[in-house]
């Protein structure tokens, strides 16, 4: 046994202790270990490629997240808000019901990673639901905006959870099939996934009712009217716009009952 291959571990320890780039440290350690073990440089590179290809479905998320971050940096959320703001009949409930249907249908075909909190809710669905809520209730506060975004995240979870059980190759279906077979009950995955369809339909109807109630609560709050002071010309005096303040104990001439222009008389002058 060649103990020198353990130098790769030492390279990792030293690299992390010096706070070097982790990706660079791990790559140098793997190449060094392969060369010390007697493999050629091309064989080591081929091993990297094979490992990535075998685990490409696991590592695809690491490629997707930087792409989403780059799109957000260049205004993806703002464009989503502008899009939903231009739709006259769009509401938060209608938008999320449409997304719920899309999420359940795609999950039922096994496309569980096509959407999710990081892929669609944060950059697209959340801002669109928030913009629709602001259009329904322009006076909405921060709690109302957070509520709209929370419903967007909940819609994604409901659609995925109750939609994926319809797919015959999902882990939960295969686990039940394996457990039943161990106990002498032989069933096909399709026989179990069929029973998930009524549950998915009920989940869609129940959550759709919740979303319609959300629409009603958002539309119930009218926009408050703001009383603004009359506009004043830049060169106009403040006294010409606002009524003058005076002592309530002093009467003006025009308030005298005779209207003769004389000021108030005291009782001792009669």
Residues 6+ apart with CB under 8 A from 127: 77, 78, 80, 81
Q: What is the pLDDT of residue 113?
A: 82
In angstroms, rounded to a whole number, what is the distance separating the alpha carbons of residues 184 and 202?
32
| Secondary structure letter of residue 123 according to DSSP | I
Q: Are 232 and 238 in contact (CB under 8 A)?
A: yes
Q: What is the pLDDT of residue 250?
A: 52
Q: What is the pLDDT of residue 251?
A: 54
Q: What is the pLDDT of residue 227?
A: 45
Q: What is the pLDDT of residue 56?
A: 64
Q: What is the pLDDT of residue 194?
A: 86
Low-confidence ranges of the chain (pLDDT < 50): 223-245, 247, 255, 259-270
Tell me the domain boundaries of the chain: 3-54, 77-219
Q: Are 166 and 151 in contact (CB under 8 A)?
A: no
The pTM of the full predicted model, rounded to 2 decimals, is: 0.59
Q: Which uninterrupted H or E stretch holds 135?
A: helix 126-136
| Chain segment 40-76, per-residue pLDDT in tens | 889 988 988 887 777 665 566 667 777 777 777 778 7
Instruction: Return the structure tokens found at 74.
Output: 């260049």
Among candidates 95, 166, 156, which has minimal Cα distance to 131? 95
In angstroms, rounded to a whole number, what is the distance separating the alpha carbons of residues 119 and 113?
8
User: Coil, strand or helix: which one is 261?
Assistant: coil
């Amino acid at each position: 046994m060649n103990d020198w291959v353990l130098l790769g571990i030492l390279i990792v320890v030293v690299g992390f202790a010096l706070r070097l780039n982790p990706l660079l440290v791990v790559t140098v350690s793997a190449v060094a270990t392969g060369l010390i073990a007697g493999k050629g440089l091309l064989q080591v590179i081929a091993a990297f490629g094979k490992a990535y290809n075998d685990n490409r479905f696991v590592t695809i998320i690491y490629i997707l997240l930087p792409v989403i971050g780059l799109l957000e940096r260049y205004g993806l959320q703002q464009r989503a808000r502008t899009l939903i703001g231009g739709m006259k009949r769009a509401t938060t409930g209608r938008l999320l019901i449409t997304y719920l249907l899309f999420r359940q249908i795609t999950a039922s075909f096994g496309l569980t990673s096509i959407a999710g909190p990081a892929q669609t809710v944060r950059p697209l669905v959340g801002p669109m639901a928030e913009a629709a809520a602001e259009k329904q209730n322009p006076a909405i506060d921060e709690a109302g905006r957070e509520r709209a975004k929370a419903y967007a995240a909940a819609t994604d979870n409901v659609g995925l959870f109750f939609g994926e059980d319809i797919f015959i190759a999902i882990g939960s279906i295969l686990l039940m099939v394996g457990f039943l077979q161990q106990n002498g009950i032989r069933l096909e995955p399709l026989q179990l996934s069929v029973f998930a369809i009524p549950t998915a339909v009920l989940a869609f109807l129940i959550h759709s009712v919740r979303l319609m109630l959300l629409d009603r609560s958002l539309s119930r709050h009218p926009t408050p009217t703001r009383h603004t002071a009359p506009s004043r010309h830049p060169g106009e005096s403040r006294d010409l716009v606002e009524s003058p303040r005076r002592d309530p104990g002093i009467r003006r001439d025009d308030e005298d009952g005779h209207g003769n222009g004389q000021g108030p008389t005291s009782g001792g002058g009669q």
